[in-house]
Copies of this chain bind each other. A is one copy, B any other.
Amino acid sequence: MNKFIALNQGSGGKQTHELISGVFAKRFGMTEPLTDSATLDESGLTLAFTTDSYVIDPLFFPGGNIGKLAVCGTVNDLAVSGAIPIYLSASFIIEEGFTLYDLEIIADSMAEEALNAKVKIVTGDTKVVEKGKCDCLFITTAGIGVIKPGSDHIAKGKRIKSGDKLIINGTIGNHAVAVLGARNNLNFSSSVISDCASMNHMIRDLLQGCGEIHFMRDLTRGGLAAVLNELARMTGKGISIDELSVPIDDPVKGLCEILGFDPFSLANEGKALIVTGEDDFEKALKILQYNPLGKKSAVIGEIVDEHKGTVVLNTFSGGKRILEMPSGTMLPRIC
């Protein structure tokens, strides 16, 4: 590893994984595979526990702001681990001179999104640092959820088997493109709106209505490509994806082509990869499509016995290529 921390070590790709595994996980005795939330057994109760720091730039973007994002992100991390999110903490690092007006708008968004997701922000902290010592505002949320018996296999994909179907609940890349558009230094106007949303109610309906959910993960930093590669590595299975079946909005596709971004590696904030048993994907799809957050849900591929540990993309031109773990320079501070 490099002697100095680089921006790409925070982008959710290969370098982030190396930093977390090499510096933190081994020292803290965390066992691989690392997931976005820890599963804890406490006096007969199975809890999920997660945390995320939000350093998004800019703080406000089409479809949300850092406050909404900080609630949705932690709610989603809990939900995709099969937990019912219940309690959140919120810790603020504020730059001296930040406006009270913006802080109140952001706090309003957090309160509104917590109400919407039916979680309670129960504890927090506030620090202020000198002007120039942080970039406006960073928020760190942590969350506690309760995992019902029978759902504790989901986060680590313990029941994944060949033939399982891979579903995503809509278009990818919208969040990253919306945030890029909102950045002053990129001179394009964009009609794209972030998908930032709490998915816990949709996921609860899915778990209640469809027994055989084998894996879920939200498609945040590193996007679909990172999650697919983690899943392949974690299970040792092959993954086959049909490029054409992955929903991408035209403006996102167009902007990715112009700017040279791969939509598969872009961050989302209201999208999850869901893996179901071979016989259950139609039921799952129906439940997801019934929800406003899942209208454009689609089956995008399956778990296979071939090319173990590798994600293969069947391209729109009829070829095949390996979809790698995102690596190198990606968009910084997208969440």
Query: Which positions in A face B, CB cutoff 8 Å?
Result: 1-11, 16, 19-20, 23-24, 27-30, 36-38, 40, 42-45, 47, 49-55, 57, 86-87, 89-101, 103-104, 107-108, 110-111, 114, 120-130, 132-135, 138, 140, 142, 144, 146, 332-333
Contact = CB atoms under 8 A, between A and B. Distances in A.
Q: Chain B CB within 10 Å — which of A7, A16, A30, A124 has the most? A: A124
A130 B7 contact: yes
Contact of A129 (B37, B122, B142, B333): B333
Q: Which of A9, A20, A27, A121 has the most CB of B within 10 A?
A: A27
Contacts of A23: 100, 103-104, 107
Contacts of A104: 23
A1 B45 CA distance: 43
B124 A93 contact: no
B122 A27 contact: no
A282 to B, nearest CB: 34
Given A87-B38, A142-B142, A10 B50 contact: no
* Chain copies in the assembled complex: 2
A95 B11 CA distance: 13
Contact of A121 (B30, B36, B97): B30
A40 B126 contact: no
Given A20-B126, A123-B38, A100 B49 contact: no
A30 B122 contact: yes
A126 B43 CA distance: 30
Contact of A52 (B11, B120, B125, B134): B125
Contacts of A40: 86-87, 122, 144
Contacts of A124: 20, 24, 28, 51
Contacts of A6: 96, 128
A87 B132 CA distance: 33
Contacts of A47: 144
B98 A10 contact: no
A100 B55 contact: no
